[in-house]
Every structure is written in C-alpha cells, then in structure tokens.
Structure 1
Amino acid sequence: MDVPPKRTDLGHLPSYRTHRHRLYGEQEGICAGCDTHFPFRVMDVDHILPRSKGGTDHLDNLQLLCSGCNRSKGGKTMAEWRAANRG
C-alpha cells in the first residue's frame, strides 16, 4: 500500500484548542450541522474536508459540530453528510 508523502508546506499550525475557541466565537456557539446552540464543552472541532480525503488542519477547513453531529458525520465531507441526512 502506498502512503502519500507527508505535507511539509503547512508550517506551524495552532493547536485545536486555539481553533476551538476562535471557531466557537465565529459560529456564536451554533453547530454547523444541526444549527443548534451548544455550550463550548460539547463542541468538537471537525474537518469540513476530512484529512483522509486530503483536507488540512487549516482554519478554513475546520468547523465546530456538536458531538452528535460529529459522530454521525464521521469521515464524510460536509456535502456527503448533508446529502445523506436530507431524507
């Protein structure tokens, strides 16, 4: 199995904790999946485009989801997850 080379162009990225606080403020505590307000402690940092599909840890690829939405989304992209949950 071929392993893709590790990216070296990312530089130093802030910790998830830093991103989590910033995203919580930007999203005003609203889950990007179900549009419900949640306390900070139950919000998870999520990759809009999962790392397994080429997504990065850059802030523009991160969002906050409540724990339930994050578990449900798993390794799907946001578009895939939304399409699967439209029913």
Structure 2
Amino acid sequence: MAWDSSTRRASLPPDWPVIRVRILTRDQGKCTWMHEGKRCGWKATDVDHIVPHSQGGTDHDSNLTSLCSWHHRRKSAAEGHAARRPPVSRQRPRKRHPGEL
C-alpha cells in the first residue's frame, strides 16, 4: 500500500501502534492467511482489517488479523478491484414496448 498517497492512515485510531503490537503478539507474529485449510505461517508484518472501514468494519481486535506483506497486498488489491467493479443489476432488462421499436 502506498501510504504516501492514501487517506486511510488518518482513519486509524491514535493508539494504532499499540493495537498493532497487540494483534501481532496475539497471532504469534505469523501470517493468518488461510489457503486450502492451511495457515500461511510466514512472518507477519502488517495488521489488516478483516472487514474494511468502508464496509462498516471496526478497529476492534475481533476485526483485525496479522498478515505477511505479500498476502496483505494481495487482499488489498482484490478489495480495490472489487470496489471499482460496476455493480451487477439483479433486475431483468426492461422489455421495450413494440411501439418503441
């Protein structure tokens, strides 16, 4: 994440450094990313919101997890792509009236 151009850092609580250390300690300093039932286990360097603030997530410990930088970038990129994707309409297309043809 390019923090220099991001406004997300400003949305973190003032005690984020304390929270970050607490979450990394809780997760034993290991990445918690799960793939095919196995935990990554690489050294965790980042603390990530499971549910982003933009989707109603909080800074509560239950919404935070430790990730290695590779998995954090992967997750953030996927969230960014999903946010830019146009919404899918679940309505049937409106049938045009024969007089409009």
- TM-score by length of structure 1 reads 0.59
2:28 is the alignment partner of 1:28: yes
CA distance in 2, matches of 1:22, 1:35: 20
Q: Match for residue 37 of structure 1?
A: 42
Aligned-CA RMSD value: 2.0
Retained in 1: the 8 A contact 2:24–2:47?
Answer: no
Q: CA deviation at 1:18?
A: 0.7
**2:66 corresponds to which letter in structure 1?**
L
**2:46 corresponds to which letter in structure 1?**
D
Q: Per the alignment, in what secondary structure is the counterpart of residue 42 of structure 2?
A: coil
Identity %: 39
Correspondence 1:65-84 to 2 at 5 A: 65-74=67-76, 76=79
**1:16 corresponds to which letter in structure 2?**
W
Q: Match for residue 6 of structure 1?
A: none
Q: Between Structure 1 and Structure 2, whose CA radius of gyration is higher?
A: 2
- TM-score by length of structure 2 reads 0.52
Q: CA deviation at 1:35?
A: 2.4
What is the number of equivalent residue pairs in this alignment? 61
State the 4+ residue runs in structure 1 displaced beyond 6 angstroms. none
Q: Per the alignment, in what secondary structure is the counterpart of residue 55 of structure 1?
A: coil
Q: CA deviation at 1:14?
A: 5.7
Higher relative contact order (CA 8 A, sep 6+): 1
